[in-house]
Amino acid sequence: MEPKKSHYGTAADRWAGMGPYYAMFPSAFADAAVAKYSKPGETVLDPFSGRGTSLFSAASAGRYAIGIELNPVGWVYSRTKLGPAPCDEVFGRIKTIQSHSAAYGEEARKLPVFFKHCFTKNTREFLLCARERLDWRNDNLDRTVMAFLMIHLHGKASDSLSNQMRQTKAMAPRYAVNWWRAGGYRPPKIDPVEFFRKKLAWRYAKGIPTVTESIALLGDSVAILEKLEEHLSGVGMKRPSLMLTSPPYFGITNYHYDQWIRLWLLGGPPTDRRVSAERKGKHQGKFENLAAYSELLVSVFAGASKILGKDGIVYVRTDRREPTVSITRDALRKAFPNHRLQRRNQPLKGKSQTRLFGNEDPRLGEVDFILQP
């Protein structure tokens, strides 16, 4: 009998799924789409890149990748997967943070009650030190460390820094505290250095994946796409031949609210309170306004059409429910009027995250729109 093949037998296998994120692309789907609709040496664009699954699939298969993501949590995961810092340097940085964490005792004491139920005092001090000292925007080592901290920031009590919680989606503080109190749950006592030593050992066990040099940009696709052609010329990268993406679905979730604890670690406020549209930015909500949602998709697809090669292919996975599917289809037709549009229904297999969080719509599954010249 042949030995069972490991799902994590290569470096690419171990890094592809890095970063818990709500409604992410399955890696196998992105791998297959990249292989079928692009060639080695070509460029793949994803203007809603999330945690960078499509970028990693492209870059690890000899393609160049360009991704744009508005949520810094997803962006940190993307940049890290495309070029993680060496393991020994990451571990050394974690030890340095731990050595300075005791200075944050007073700040740890002043955090809201949620944090005191979620993390032990030692863990709070460690996280506050990392929050202040890691230059994740500009330094690759610090960004890699931050990626590992965010992955294990919350989740199962046996595999994270937090009290028992879901890993992908952060819960509301009041709900979480009441649930912990009712169940008698306590945050796990953890030595962060030893904890992350084991996590790093597993992730780096097969080395760092070999990927093509690629680009992951942090910001709003509507604005970035307007200047992307100039940016590509500056770095000598070819126009994309494939756009592979999955836009946010209408009225399903708020990707920033879902990640409020991780956004706190990145420097945000220690609260899940929803902020005003002026403060949070135009495209950071739950996408519940039909006109605004349609405008977003039309603008992004139109911007992508201007930089996609003339023979470029478009592959978009979206929600099968209305109005998401109709708005997406119409926006694609408007942006690519000379392309043939093919629709493929993708039935749901197994439990979905939208069902998990309360969506019982019977029109289960997703839809792939494929547009070719």
Helix, strand, or coil (residue 217): strand
What whole-number distance in Å separates Cα of residue 71 and Cα of residue 284? 8
What whole-number distance in Å separates Cα of residue 187 and Cα of residue 203? 24
Q: Based on the domain organization, do 66 and 175 belong to the same domain? A: no
Residue written as tokens 């697809």? 301
Q: Is the pLDDT of residue 356 over 60?
A: no
Domain boundary residue among 164, 187, 203?
203
Cα separations (Å) of 148 from 178, 188, 195? 28, 18, 11
Residue written as tokens 């070999």? 210
- Cβ neighbours of 161 (radius 10 Å): 23
Domain boundary residue among 203, 236, 269?
203
Q: Based on the domain organization, do 242 and 353 belong to the same domain? A: yes
Q: Based on the domain organization, do 224 and 189 belong to the same domain? A: no
Reported as a pLDDT band with limits 50, 70 and 90, residue 69 is very high
Is residue 169 a contact partner of residue 22, using CB atoms and an 8 Å limit?
yes
* The amino acid at 297: L
Encode pLDDT of 38-48 as tens digits: 999 999 999 99
Lowest mean pLDDT among 135-139, 311-315, 356-360: 356-360
| Mean pLDDT to the nearest integer, 270-277 | 66
Query: Where residue 357 sits, what CATH number does that domain have?
Result: 3.40.50.150
- Tell me whether residue 188 is in a domain: yes
- Domain tally, the chain: 2
Q: For residue 237, give the DSSP letter.
A: P
- Tell me whether residue 142 is in a domain: yes
Q: What proportions of the chain, in percent to the nearest 5, are helix, strand and coil?
A: 45, 10, 40
**pLDDT value, residue 289:** 85
Looking at every residue in the chain, the average pLDDT score rounds to: 90
Q: For residue 367, give the DSSP letter.
A: E
Domain boundary residue among 203, 235, 266?
203
> Taking the model in full, what pTM does it have?
0.91
- Tell me whether residue 243 is in a domain: yes
- Tell me whether residue 155 is in a domain: yes
Q: Based on the domain organization, do 152 and 96 belong to the same domain? A: yes
- Tell me whether residue 241 is in a domain: yes
Domain that holds residue 158: 87-203
| Residue 156, both tokens | 């199962």
Q: Based on the domain organization, do 243 and 301 belong to the same domain? A: yes
Q: Based on the domain organization, do 229 and 199 belong to the same domain? A: no
Q: Based on the domain organization, do 331 and 357 belong to the same domain? A: yes
Q: Is the pLDDT of residue 146 over 70?
A: yes
* CA-closest candidate to residue 16, choices 210, 248, 265: 210
* CA-closest candidate to residue 113, choices 185, 176, 171, 170: 176
- Tell me whether residue 181 is in a domain: yes
Q: Is the pLDDT of residue 276 over 70?
A: no
Q: Is the pLDDT of residue 5 over 80?
A: no
Which stretches of 101-191 are DSSP H helices? 105-110, 113-118, 121-133, 140-151, 173-183
- Tell me whether residue 1 is in a domain: no
Q: Based on the domain organization, do 66 and 96 belong to the same domain? A: no
- Tell me whether residue 271 is in a domain: no
Q: Based on the domain organization, do 69 and 215 belong to the same domain? A: yes
Q: Based on the domain organization, do 162 and 140 belong to the same domain? A: yes
Q: Which helix (H) or strand (E) holds 244?
A: strand 242-245
Encode pLDDT of 107-126 as tens digits: 999 999 999 999 999 999 99
**pLDDT value, residue 278:** 36
Q: Based on the domain organization, do 138 and 215 belong to the same domain? A: no
What whole-number distance in Å separates Cα of residue 16 and Cα of residue 206? 13
Is residue 265 a contact partner of residue 13, using CB atoms and an 8 Å limit?
no
| Mean pLDDT to the nearest integer, 2-18 | 77
Q: Based on the domain organization, do 40 and 145 belong to the same domain? A: no
* CA-closest candidate to residue 173, choices 119, 114, 115: 114
Encode pLDDT of 207-247 as tens digits: 999 999 999 999 999 999 999 988 888 777 889 999 999 99
